[in-house]
Amino acid sequence: MKARKRGSASHTWNAILHGREALNKGLIKRIGDGSNTRVWEDPWFPSNYSRKPLVKLPEAGVSMVNELIDDDLSCWNKDKLEENFVLVDVEAICAIPISRFGEDEWAWAPEKTSYFSVRSAYKLLAADRRHSENSLASGASAPGFWK
């Protein structure tokens, strides 16, 4: 998933790389035991646009999601969450179901079934494009906006 575009790339390779970008926008990790999901790098938050925590506190000391799960009760460890996240992220994490049986799995977030479809990928890309156009129209990305 880390291959790069080269100047002399074929149309097929360019299409594959573009498809990979679309795939990355819709993928999310469904939490099982939390052992292979990185807290700050992997997309695992269904409730926000980036699918990652909003804020990383300076004192945050966790790196893997399994550090946030109470193994004995198979639920979120509220104390650990409050130590490492802002309140809005704590609430979002508490709403994420944990599967007691099995590892974390990749899923397609735009579909309730978690399965990829070309239709949902198209809708995701179209919404992303509208979002970008609205940001430009509002002037937020225009040069000199913050001056």
Model confidence pLDDT, tens digit, residues 107-127: 998 888 889 988 998 898 888
In tens, the pLDDT along 131-147 reads 777 766 665 545 555 55
**Is 133 part of a structural domain of the chain?**
yes
Q: Is 20 domain-assigned?
A: yes
Quote the domain boundaries for residue 18: 12-138
Assess if residue 86 is contained within a domain. Answer: yes
DSSP for 38-105?
Answer: BTTTS---TTSTTSS-S---TT----BGGGGEETTTTEE-HHHHHHHS-HHHHHHHHTS---SSS--E
Q: Please report whether residue 145 resides in a domain.
A: no
Total domains in the fold of the chain: 1
Q: Does 34 fall in a domain?
A: yes
pLDDT of amino acid 21: 82
